[in-house]
């Protein structure tokens, strides 16, 4: 029976983080690979996971290790696609290495490009069932007619690209086993200090899919129909993270958990009545919040809620199909503060057609809302989204940026991937950094954060956050002021 090696491509800390952010940023496990491993193991296949972000190693060592497996699976996101392609090509360059299967959001957006770059198969969309059928086929007769019957894969046949058709989404989700974290270096993972009040902080997912139509976000993998794990299954994972992996904090990573009141209230009730006793945080959509759910979150120990606010310009909110008014954002933020749950607000700058004046609106709106943590990121066009197509038509943009460099985490970038028309790259970077300066180095904010400290863990978080901000806040752009492209100056 074929042994399967699932790989998150290797990245050094220098590639993964920008300057001081290593101390404060998250290191999240590849849960997608852990779900696939659990699904395959449940059907009798032996699996291993190599997480190259948590435990980076030279590609040559991974190539050598791959020889002892029957199938290699590699997950690919656009930010790290270059390294994934380097790994695929290194494995395929060695005689006797196994078939290479690629999957993940970047592959789902550009499957033909991935197989033409060296992979044997591309898994398009949700991966568990497709990967199982492909592993079974690779370990069997390898009949070409049977291969075409496996929905959700792309491959080359006589140099022609073949796509076998979309696979139906998995429902109910509970038929997927819990992600197999026994294959992961769990002691290395952490959630961002901007949301975790204690470490170790581990993460989980409660749903797949998103009903939103935000133009910068891809829905290709999981679709727009939201599917939820059951409340009991979610509770099982919460307690597993606490009892087996020592979690003192848990981060719910998907956006739609509290948008389903039945699931959210049942989970909150279970955490409270069964004595979970750890802090936890959630991501949430502004349009999916009500007083009852917020109160239940607070009562069950939720200590942070993260809202994707994106912009302070109503024109930009409408342009990106956020489908929310600024007044609604104000209302939800005020209600959350009244309940007593701290807020992390996600703000984005540099959309196609956005002006510096509109970015200033975003900063002013963030300061008006006065959330505990404001995260300012620069827009990155992701393949498969409407904004990617718009970016190709305006501004300054390399549509194959993912083939030319690794893109580190987006909070403190050294270069912009996309520059709107009428703005230089240097202006964009300098405004972005000034946003952090002006938001966090207000005397009132500093005094408020110091007054809120309650224990040594919060002191450590504050120190790490301050180090990250100081490492970035007062650096001017290394790009020439008048340049509009996104290439660093010679010598960088």
Does residue 145 sit within a domain?
A: yes
pLDDT, tens digit (0-9, with 9 covering 90-100), for 219-243: 889 998 999 999 999 999 999 999 9
Is residue 442's pLDDT more than 90? no
- 333 burial (CB, 10 Å; 0-12 / 13-18 / 19+) is buried
Band the pLDDT of 481: cuts 50, 70, 90. Answer: very low
Among 245, 221, 278, 280, which Cα is nearest to 77's? 221
Band the pLDDT of 472: cuts 50, 70, 90. Answer: low
Choice among 128-132, 412-416, 464-468 with the minimum mean pLDDT: 464-468
Query: What pLDDT is recorded for position 115?
Result: 98
Separation of alpha carbons 91 and 72, rounded Å? 9
One domain, residues 265 and 359:
yes
One domain, residues 222 and 339:
yes
For residue 197, the Cα-to-chain-centroid distance in whole angstroms is: 20
Residues 88 and 60: beta-carbon distance below 8 Å = no
Query: What pLDDT is recorded for position 25?
Result: 79
The CATH number for 205's domain is 3.80.30.20
The one-character DSSP state at 190 is B
b/e map 65-94, b = 16+ CB within 10 Å: ebeebbbbbbbbbbbbbbbbbebbebbbee
Does residue 180 sit within a domain?
A: no
Does residue 185 sit within a domain?
A: no
H or E element: which one contains 387? helix 386-393
Query: What is the biggest distance separating any 2 CA atoms in the chain, rounded to whole angstroms?
Result: 70
Q: Tokens 């032996």: give the residue.
A: 46
The CATH number for 99's domain is 3.40.50.280
One domain, residues 151 and 200:
no
- Crossing angle of the two packed helices 261-273 and 291-299, in degrees rounded to 10: 20
- Tell me the two tokens of residue 339: 């309940």
b/e map 246-280, b = 16+ CB within 10 Å: ebbbbbbbbbbbbbbeebbbbbbebbeeeebebbb
pLDDT, tens digit (0-9, with 9 covering 90-100), for 148-159: 999 999 999 999
Please say whether the dihedral angle defined by the alpha carbons of residues 101, 106, 111 and 113, taken in this order, is positive or negative.
negative
Query: What pLDDT is recorded for position 297?
Result: 98
> Do the bridges between strand 160-163 and strand 153-157 make them parallel or antiparallel, or are there none, so unpaired?
antiparallel
One domain, residues 395 and 321:
yes
H or E element: which one contains 456? helix 456-473
Is residue 449's pLDDT more than 70? no
pLDDT, tens digit (0-9, with 9 covering 90-100), for 339-391: 999 999 999 999 999 999 999 999 999 999 999 999 999 999 999 999 999 99
Choice among 186-195, 366-375, 479-488 with the minimum mean pLDDT: 479-488
One domain, residues 148 and 203:
no
Does residue 396 sit within a domain?
A: yes
Query: What pLDDT is recorded for position 385?
Result: 95
pLDDT, tens digit (0-9, with 9 covering 90-100), for 291-347: 999 999 999 999 999 999 999 999 999 999 999 999 999 999 999 999 999 999 999
How many domains is the chain built from?
A: 2
Does residue 198 sit within a domain?
A: yes
Choice among 44-48, 216-220, 260-264, 479-483 with the minimum mean pLDDT: 479-483
Separation of alpha carbons 436 and 337, rounded Å? 22
C-alpha dihedral (151, 153, 159, 161), degrees to nearest 10? 70
Choice among 188-192, 362-366, 471-475 with the minimum mean pLDDT: 471-475
Separation of alpha carbons 306 and 328, rounded Å? 16
One domain, residues 159 and 209:
no
Band the pLDDT of 44: cuts 50, 70, 90. Answer: very high
Most confident listed range (225-234, 392-401, 407-416): 225-234
Please say whether the dihedral angle defined by the alpha carbons of residues 401, 283, 224 and 240, taken in this order, is positive or negative.
positive
Does residue 235 sit within a domain?
A: yes
Separation of alpha carbons 61 and 16, rounded Å? 20
Among 358, 266, 252, which Cα is nearest to 306's? 252
One domain, residues 215 and 84:
no
Band the pLDDT of 448: cuts 50, 70, 90. Answer: low
One domain, residues 215 and 144:
no
Among 13, 34, 8, which Cα is nearest to 25's? 13
Most confident listed range (82-96, 402-416, 457-471): 82-96
One domain, residues 141 and 231:
no
One domain, residues 290 and 363:
yes
Phi, psi at 412, each rounded to 5°: -135, 65
Separation of alpha carbons 282 and 253, rounded Å? 7
Separation of alpha carbons 237 and 141, rounded Å? 38
The one-character DSSP state at 279 is E
Does residue 336 sit within a domain?
A: yes
Query: What pLDDT is recorded for position 473?
Result: 54
| Enclosing domain of residue 332 | 190-473
Does residue 486 sit within a domain?
A: no
Separation of alpha carbons 269 and 339, rounded Å? 17
Q: What is the mean pLDDT of the segment spanning 173-178?
A: 97
Separation of alpha carbons 148 and 316, rounded Å? 43
Q: Tokens 């059951």: give the residue.
A: 230
One domain, residues 202 and 126:
no
Q: Tokens 């759910």: give the residue.
A: 293
- Crossing angle of the two packed helices 231-243 and 261-273, in degrees rounded to 10: 40
One domain, residues 202 and 148:
no
Residue 387 CB: number of other CB atoms within 10 A?
Answer: 22
């Amino acid at each position: 029976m074929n042994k399967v090696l699932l790989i998150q491509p290797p990245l050094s800390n220098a590639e993964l983080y920008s300057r001081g952010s290593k101390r404060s940023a998250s290191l999240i496990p590849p849960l997608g690979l852990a779900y696939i491993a659990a699904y395959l193991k449940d059907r009798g296949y032996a699996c291993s996971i190599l997480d190259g972000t948590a435990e980076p190693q030279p590609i040559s060592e991974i190539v050598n290790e791959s020889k002892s497996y029957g199938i290699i699976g590699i997950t690919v996101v656009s930010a790290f696609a270059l390294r994934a392609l380097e790994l695929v090509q290194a494995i395929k360059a060695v005689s006797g290495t196994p078939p290479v299967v690629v999957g993940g959001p970047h592959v789902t957006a550009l499957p033909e490009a991935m197989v033409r770059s060296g992979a044997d198969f591309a898994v398009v969309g949700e991966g568990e069932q497709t990967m199982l059928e492909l592993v079974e086929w690779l370990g069997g007769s390898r009949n070409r007619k049977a291969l075409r019957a496996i929905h959700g894969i792309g491959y080359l046949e006589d140099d022609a690209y073949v796509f076998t058709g979309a696979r139906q989404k998995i429902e109910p989700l509970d038929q997927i086993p819990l992600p197999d974290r026994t294959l992961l270096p769990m002691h290395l993972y952490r959630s961002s200090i901007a949301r975790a009040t204690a470490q170790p902080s581990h993460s989980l997912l409660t749903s797949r899919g998103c009903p939103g139509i935000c133009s910068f976000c891809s829905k290709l993998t999981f679709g727009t129909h939201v599917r939820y794990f059951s409340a009991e299954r979610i509770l099982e994972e919460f307690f597993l993270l606490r009892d087996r992996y020592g979690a003192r904090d848990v981060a719910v990573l998907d956006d739609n958990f509290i948008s389903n009141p039945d699931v959210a209230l049942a989970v909150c009730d279970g955490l409270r009545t069964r004595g979970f006793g750890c802090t936890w945080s959630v991501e949430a959509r502004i349009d999916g919040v009500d007083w009852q759910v917020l109160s239940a979150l607070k009562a069950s120990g939720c200590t942070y809620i993260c809202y994707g606010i994106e912009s302070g310009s109503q024109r930009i909110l409408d342009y990106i199909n956020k489908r929310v008014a600024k007044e609604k954002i104000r209302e939800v933020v005020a209600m959350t503060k009244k309940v007593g749950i701290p807020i992390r607000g996600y703000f984005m700058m540099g959309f196609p057609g956005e002006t510096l004046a509109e970015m200033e609106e975003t900063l002013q709106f963030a300061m008006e809302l006065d959330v505990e943590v404001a995260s300012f990121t620069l827009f990155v066009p992701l393949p498969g989204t409407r904004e990617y197509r718009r970016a190709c038509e305006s501004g300054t943009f390399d549509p194959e940026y993912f083939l030319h460099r690794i893109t580190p985490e987006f909070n403190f970038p050294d270069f912009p991937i996309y520059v709107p028309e009428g703005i230089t790259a240097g202006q964009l970077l300098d405004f972005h950094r000034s946003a952090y300066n002006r938001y966090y180095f207000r005397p009132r904010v500093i005094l408020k954060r110091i007054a809120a400290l309650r224990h040594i863990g919060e002191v450590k978080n504050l120190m790490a956050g301050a180090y990250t901000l100081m490492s970035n806040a007062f650096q001017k752009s290394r790009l020439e002021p008048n340049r509009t492209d996104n290439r660093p100056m010679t010598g960088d």
